[in-house]
Amino acid sequence: MSTQSVIVAAKLKNIREAYIKQLPGQLEKIRNSYAEFVKGSSGSGALDELHRRIHTMKGACASFRLSLLSAVATAGEHLAKEALQSETPPDRYWHQNMQDIFARMEHEISAIDPMAGMELQIQELVIAAEETTERERKLVYLCDDDSFQRLTLATQIGCFGFEVLSFGEPEQLINAMRSVPPDVIVMDMIFPDRPLGGSDIMQTIQADRDNSIPTVFISTQGSLANRLSAVRAGSSAYFVKPINITDLCSTLSLLTSAVKPEPYRIMIVDDDPQLAEYHALILNEAGMTTLMVNDPLEVMSPLFEFKPDLILMDMYMPGCNGMELAKAIRQIGAYFSIPIVYLSSETDTDKQFQAMQIGGDEFLTKPIKPHHLVSAVAVRAERMKIIRSQMVRDSMTGLFNHTTTKEHLDTAIAHAQRKREEVCFAMIDVDKFKVVNDTYGHPIGDRVLIALARLIRQRVRKTDIVGRFGGEEFAVILPGCSLTEAVSLLNELRESFAAVCFQSKDETFSCTFSCGVAPLSLYGDAAALNAGADEALYAAKDGGRNLVVTAERR
């Protein structure tokens, strides 16, 4: 765990403890609002205040993992809302139920264990923060009238590398906007006496701007009415409290990142060079990458090297027609599912249908309007990228699977040998993982593996490749990295993982991993490099575990 993570965890712990200490005072204010309502001297204002205070308790308790108290507050909120919507005064059963709610609140507050659930909340925060891929100092404005929730959320967002300025009053946010506009705004939906106050405020802010600022709304209410209000105010996303900090910060990263997704890769097979070039131009202008092949008999080498997301193919070409070529490509396992779109002047619907039966996904008739071509290609190329991602990644951790990791190792070695550079290969294995599964159950064991996967993916360099080799074993490919640098990086990973606490019911535990690392300079090929790292891993296990051992020490 990094120093920054330790500091953040300590801050979160202090905030949570402080919130618990002030709960009796919060309940006192709720009771006072109820007493004012019973006296009837304040009209409907006291009932509104009662509803707001209970609503605030419900959301905050859920965020702090005080689930039992949050559940009681939820019941109280429903009662208050029922009275607000009724045309007749509450009957004695309503008052009795509300007083029962207060008694249950008092009981739950007195029974709170300040430490219960805290380690899990801190662990989730730290592990989630490890997952962020770029520590960009993007400016986030956070507006929430609840001081504890505002401070907690600001702390957690800051852990992901954002600079956060928080405001308890909408007017403070509006004033700040005039001097320094943020990259993104996180806006609470509900403010005192303003159930849709957040959307009203954002409509005012955005109306005065030429370019709208991305806005994420947060609320205890997930109703369609609230969501529509947010949409009309220009929302980019909507989160219901308690907020999943990983999802929120992933959304903030997406909204503030200038990194564009990889362009679709389209291979155009057409014996007419000019026509192929014209279609390539259309697709290039739409942001796609194209490769033209004018001889269908020369398609295999470009197919394997270019790795297209879609093939755009003419029907009638010399040497072989499009149907024959599609069938031949479909018989290659790696390209069984690749989208093949025919682009031909053939208008005979029977022949078009025959071409589709043999292996095509769609038949487009020449000439075709550019936006029709772009649309047809983009939809199918995107689907292929999703399918390909599912084929090459481990479903649980999101890391590359065993086969794909080995392919990346072959590629890294070939590149290193051409450039005369070093590449290191590391094998990582969770220590005594069977004991974890047997003691705490497989779902907790899965959580350990996911946490390790996220930690490795966060800490390694952008050029490094991380894969799950199977079970509790992971692999890391470190191109252009000396053995000394690799050992230093892997030891940092090992120490961070050992500092993470995992929660299982009322028990916390930690895990360690052993690692073996081997440099290409000692081995001639991928198989030997893999074997060297594997032997070093076994040496780490034999040496007492929780070690990084190099192949030089065999």
Q: Could you give the domains of the chain? A: 3-110 (1.20.120.160), 132-256 (3.40.50.2300), 265-391 (3.40.50.2300), 402-553 (3.30.70.270)
pTM assigned to the model: 0.44
Residue-wise burial string across 323-351, b where 16 or more C-beta atoms lie within 10 A, e elsewhere: bebbeebbeeeebeebbbbbbbebeeeee
Give the pLDDT confidence of 468-484 residue by residue, as tens digits.
Answer: 988 899 999 999 999 99
How far is Cα 242 from Cα 247, in angstroms, rounded to an integer? 12
Give the residue ranges of DSSP H helices in 344-460.
349-358, 370-392, 402-419, 433-440, 442-459
If one counts every other C-beta atom within 10 angstroms of the C-beta of residue 250, the result is 17
**Secondary structure class of 285 (helix, strand, coil):** helix
Listing from the earlier edge strand, what are the strands of the sheet with 310-313?
289-293, 265-269, 310-313, 340-344, 362-365
pLDDT for residue 136 is more than 60: no
Rounded CA gap, 201 and 208, in Å? 12
Q: What is the pLDDT of residues 529-552, one digit of tens each?
A: 999 999 999 999 999 999 999 987
Q: What is the mean pLDDT of residues 115-143?
A: 59
Q: In what order do the strands lie in the sheet with 215-219?
A: 163-167, 139-143, 184-188, 215-219, 235-240
Does an H or E element contain 270, and which?
none
- Alpha carbon dihedral 121, 125, 126, 128, in 10-degree steps, equals 130
pLDDT in tens, 160-192: 567 889 999 888 998 888 888 899 999 999 888
Asked if 441 contacts 447 with a C-beta cutoff of 8 angstroms, the reply is: no
Per-residue confidence band for 450, with pLDDT thresholds at 50, 70 and 90: confident
- Out of 76-80, 116-120, 144-148, 325-329, which region has the weakest mean confidence (pLDDT)? 116-120
Q: Report the phi/psi class of residue 479: left, alpha or beta, with left for phi > 0 and alpha for psi in -120 to 50.
A: beta
Q: By three-state DSSP, how is residue 517 classified?
A: strand
